[in-house]
Chain A
Amino acid sequence: MQENIVIIGNGISGTTLARYIRKQSDKKITLISNEHDYFFSRTALMYVYMGHMKFEHTQPYENWFWEKNRIQLKTGYVTNVDSENKTLKFIDGSTFSYDKLIIATGSKFNKFGWKGQDLEGVTGMYHKQDLEQIEQYAPNNETCKRGVIVGGGLIGVELAEMLRTRNIPVTFLVRENSFWGNVLPLGDSEMISRHIESHGVDLRFGVNLGEIKANENGRASSVIIKETGEEILCDMVGLTAGVSPNIDLLKESTIETDKGVLVNRYFETTADDVYAIGDCAQQREPIGNRRPVEAVWYTGRIMGETLAQTICGNKTAYSPGHWFNSAKFFDIEYQTYGWVFSEPKEGNAHFHWKHDDDTKCITIEYDTTSREFKGINSLGIRMKHNLFDQWLSANKTVEFVVNNLAQANFDPEFYKTFHHHIQEQFTSSQLENAHHE
């Protein structure tokens, strides 16, 4: 009998794991999901609402793929994990046994106990079902005269872009004093803030949600801003103040959890033969500057690739490489390689360059003593991942990186390049620094 591998969650983590186990073994693989039968790209849900794609286009594999690769798909909602008896319990009362279990249940959107957070008309933007709700609450600007979005991060700005494609007025409540200000340095953040506003978004900084009020039908009809008491009428409220691990299924189990399912570098939980990967896993010891819970697309993929090794008999520790990430804010693409913090870490400094057209800028973080390059944020200019990865591994200096930026450019052919401007400004900024010292 082949070992019976059961994966709860068919997102990027679970699916990658299943694929890589199949590449290396003939084990029995079952992928369980309650969200949708087939793996789809969560990151593309926004494009379905915007009319760029149909839902089926978010599925990276054709439907025959699973059977051909002998990956069984099971629809169901798991309510309990009995790790003693190696059995799953489903909401319909049925059970399912496993030899090895992997929990890859992802995230759910945060609710911070706001009054009215469970009203009709209030939703996050994470699951397929969330998107269906948004489609229902905000099909057009007659049904939805205004949407209010709470939380200025990556999902919030996506939701703002979505609603704007249907000409729905948007008020965007951001706790920080500039957009994504806890992650982006001020120069980057302010440029993006201006861009978001230029798309007709009513962007409010330094404010929190007080409560959500209902109309006589029990539907969300306005929000109250905590700081000012201002009431904003709306027909939809999007809660995008981050996500947290989706681990309700472990409430009654003995598996140890904190924010997420606690795991070591091998994704082992406190129960034998139970592992957790992806957004729902929490590293006991954070790795480098990475957060213990990483809700990022590619880390889910890497965890899947890595755990597949262990499951197939080659015990392998999670070792993500240099940090990188990307996003798009309306029309401006963002890429980051290495670590750039909103405020430079101690001993570090930032170099910031911005184009006059206010749609392109970069920020580089570097060590002021050793001159070591720490990371780059690039907005509106595409950069090569592999080159920055090599440069970070080789501990290149900030001077080296600035002088070789042309090599790192990944914009399409014939695009205007800006490395000369960047180099000039860098040189003069360094002279200025030297002057001050």
Chain B
Amino acid sequence: MSETNESFSIARPDAVTLTTPQKIAVFVGLVGLFILVLAAFNVNFPNRALFLIASLGLMTGGTVFYANSLYLSEHAGIKNDGVWFKSLTSRGVVAWGAGIFLTLFYIVLYFKAELLGLGVDGAANTGLVALFDPFSKLLSGNPASQWFVYGTLYTLVILIFGYKFLLKYRHNKYQTLRTLSVMFFQLGFAFLIPELMSRLNSESFSLPYYDLKNIWPLNYYNFEQYRVDSFISAGNVGLALLIFGVLSILVITPILTYKYGKRWYCSWVCGCGGLAETAGDPFRHLSDKSLFAWKVERWVIHSVLVFVVLMTTAVIYSYLGDDSSKYWLTRDIFLLSVGGLLTAVFATIMIWKRHALGKDAKIGAIAYAVIILALILIHKFSGANLFLFQAEKLRVWYGFLIGSIFSGVIGTGFYPLFGSRVWCRFGCPMAAILGMQQRLFSKFRITTNGGQCISCGNCSVYCEMGIDVRAYAQRGENIVRSSCVGCGICSAVCPRGVLKLENGDHNDRFQNPEIPLGNDMNIVNLAKQNH
């Protein structure tokens, strides 16, 4: 095991072995998981409901028991002892094993669900999916799908690891409330409400599965034809939901992000964030803190955003008509609105906020603006496909590359290797929009407390988004970064009380002293260079 000890320890620190109660807890939890594995291998359980309850119950009990044993006998406080000595949390053998297992699970889930027992062409479910049939029928009245299995497990994981997180940070009210919030939104909005809503569906009335907090463009398929048709055909309720979907991104999101920063969504509401903050918490320190990673992040996440905007525009465009007498929203009006909106955003930023953009951000923004404009013009004047490719192709490719591979397989499967927020940091287009607002139009910042920073680096290490928090704190600067999801862990782990998440006056968010507080010398000619 010595290869997993990445400190410069000569001997492996032995303090991180499990106690007997913890071993029992791990055993109990793994028995629960093993029932699922058996089901996946098509073991036919006589009473599915009973075995499903047993499985979920054992996993829950094991985790609760483990968390109690780990934290309740200790003082409340920061609990990062041995994080870099444990195989699971320091990219050791266990971490690689877990990463590979999760990755394979995601590949099967997305592309080979029949291996999990999904009944094809109306056949009854078997295996793992069938194990969840009784529960699905109880909630929605329908047999389970692979997505129901996934949704149930996803919710369970957020709840039980949320419980563990609550104990770990029980001294910290911000962490407690935030975690209760993600647990609530996952259980209610992502899981129970949509399942129960589908009970209302009938021959004449049908709503698509809609997690209300899952906002476009994270929910990249929200405005696809089958969903929009379904919303519209469901009368006023459906129309209200459709309008809510549009208002979510255009009105609600900007207001809340202005007031509170992107954290209102990313670390208080979002399901991806919810998983990262609970099950992903033990891996938060694995995010890459290098300047290089930050550069890559800026290009990749904004490219995904451009991709989703193009794809969605093309898809909606493809099912709209040209005749304004049939329906007011024609292709031309739609394309004009999209172009107008993008131009307005671009112009606003370039006129009022260009000083806040880095050189690469300016280049990127202008390049993408030119490309989008050119593609629209090419389409208008040559009649080629909007954005060159068929809308359907764009949709399929986005779903495959971004929706499945990036957010699922890489985003979650690689938790134990690259940390818990790979998707949120490099891929999520919702995070890109919220981040742009946070950086340019928000009251949120992390305040640095004068000259108290001792450059220890706990903040940077435990930043799941890979922000080098210390780089700002040690210069007495506030942290105003697009990627910050406001989880508050930097503030929690700081041993000197240096960092505080705050919503204050938009105009004094930045605090860039020439020298940190504490030095009363007169400053002359102290130019900022090289940093």
Q: Which residues of A are at the interface with B, using a C-beta cutoff of 8 A?
A: 12, 20, 22-24, 41, 43-44, 47-55, 57-60, 62, 68-69, 132, 135-136, 139-143, 165-167, 198-199, 297-298, 301-302, 305-306, 309, 314, 316-321, 324, 326-328, 330-331, 333, 335, 382-386, 389, 410-416
A50 partner, pick from B81, B451, B527, B528, beta carbons under 8 A: B81
Q: Are B526 and A23 in contact (CB under 8 A)?
A: yes
Q: How far is the CB of B413 from chain A (nearest CB, A)?
A: 24
Q: Is there contact, CB below 8 Å, between B81 and A165?
A: yes
> B56 to chain A: closest CB distance in Å?
32
In the complex, are the beta carbons of A52 and B174 less than 8 A apart?
no
Cβ-closest 4 pairs across A and B? A385-B450, A331-B77, A382-B497, A139-B11
Residues from chain A with Cβ under 8 Å of B68 in the complex? none
B75 with A132: CB separation less than 8 A: no
The residue that A328 contacts in the complex, of B12, B496, B515, with Cβ under 8 A, is: B496
A385 touches B81 (CB 8 A): no
Chain A hits for B493, CB < 8 A: 52
**Segment of B184-192, B350-358, B455-463 engaged in the interface with chain A:** B455-463
Determine if B173 is an interface residue (Cβ-Cβ < 8 Å).
yes
Q: Size band of the B side of the interface? A: 35 or more
Stretch among B13-21, B142-150, B204-212 lining the A interface: B13-21
User: CB within 8 Å of A: which residues of B?
Assistant: 6-16, 75-78, 80-86, 171-174, 177, 290-291, 447, 449-452, 454-458, 460-461, 470-471, 474, 488, 491-493, 495-497, 500-502, 515-522, 524-531
Given contacts A54-B84, A297-B454, A413-B501, 15 further A-B contacts (CB under 8 A): A41-B454, A52-B83, A52-B458, A53-B458, A302-B515, A302-B519, A306-B521, A309-B521, A319-B521, A324-B450, A335-B496, A386-B450, A389-B518, A410-B500, A414-B177
Determine the distance from Cα of A54 to Cα of B454 in the docked complex, in whole angstroms.
17
Contacts A47-B458, A335-B496 given; indicate if A385 touches B452 (C-beta within 8 A).
yes
Query: Is A319's CB under 8 angstroms from B526's CB?
Result: no
From A143, A199, A306, A382, B449 is in contact (CB under 8 Å) with: A382
A-B contact pairs, 26 of them (CB 8 A): A23-B530, A50-B80, A51-B82, A51-B84, A52-B83, A54-B7, A55-B7, A59-B457, A60-B471, A198-B75, A298-B452, A298-B518, A318-B521, A320-B518, A326-B496, A331-B75, A333-B497, A382-B500, A386-B517, A410-B497, A412-B491, A412-B501, A413-B501, A413-B502, A415-B173, A416-B173
Which residue of chain A has its CB nearest to the CB of B462? Answer: A52
Instruction: Report how far A162 CA is from B470 CA in the complex, Å.
Output: 22
The interface residues of chain B lying within 8 Å CB-to-CB of A411 are: 500
Number of CB contacts from chain A to chain B under 8 A: 212
Q: Are B81 and A412 in contact (CB under 8 A)?
A: no
- Minimum C-beta distance from A415 to chain B (A): 5
Q: Which one, B14, B470, B500, contacts A60 given CB within 8 A? A: B470
Q: Is the CB of A333 within 8 A of B495?
A: yes
Also in contact, A43 and B456, with CB within 8 A (given A305-B519, A321-B518): yes
C-alpha gap A24/B524 in the complex (Å) = 10
User: Quick one: closest B residue to A163, CB to CB?
Assistant: B15
Q: Which of A49, A51, A68 sits near B16, CB closer than 8 Å? A: A51
A331 near B517 with CB under 8 A, answer no
Q: Is the CB of A43 within 8 A of B6?
A: no
Q: How far is the CA of A113 from the CA of B13 in the complex (A)?
A: 32
The CA of A302 and the CA of B520, in the complex, are separated in Å by 9
Q: How far is the CB of A338 from chain B (nearest CB, A)?
A: 13
Distance of A371 from chain B, by nearest CB (Å): 25
- Do B449 and A410 have beta carbons less than 8 Å apart? yes
Q: Which interface residue of B455, B474, B491 has the most chain A CB atoms within 10 A?
A: B455
Give chain A residues whose Cβ lies under 8 Å from the Cβ of B80: 50-52
A25 shortest CB reach to chain B, Å: 10
B456–A58 CB distance below 8 A: yes
Residues of B within 8 Å of A132, CB to CB, are: 8, 10
A335 vs B492: C-alpha distance in the bound complex, in angstroms? 16
Residues of A within 8 A of B11 (CB): 135-136, 139-140, 143
Shortest beta-carbon distance from B452 to chain A in Å? 5
A55-B13 Cα distance, complex, nearest whole Å? 15
Q: How far is B133's CA from A224's CA once the two chains are assembled, in angstroms?
A: 71
Minimal Cβ-Cβ distance residue in B for A43: B454
Within the complex, the shortest CB–CB distance from A32 to chain B, in Å, comes to: 20
Task: Find out whether the CB atom of A415 lies under 8 angstroms from the CB atom of B174.
Answer: yes
Q: How far is the CB of A155 from chain B (nearest CB, A)?
A: 13
State whether B518 touches A302 (Cβ < 8 A): yes
A139/B13 contact (C-beta < 8 A), A199-B75, A305-B515, A326-B497 known: yes
Q: Which residues of chain B are near A319, meaning CB under 8 Å?
A: 519-521
In the complex, which residues of chain A have a beta carbon less than 8 angstroms from the beta carbon of B456? Answer: 41, 43-44, 47, 58
* Assembled-state Cα–Cα distance A68/B291 (Å): 13
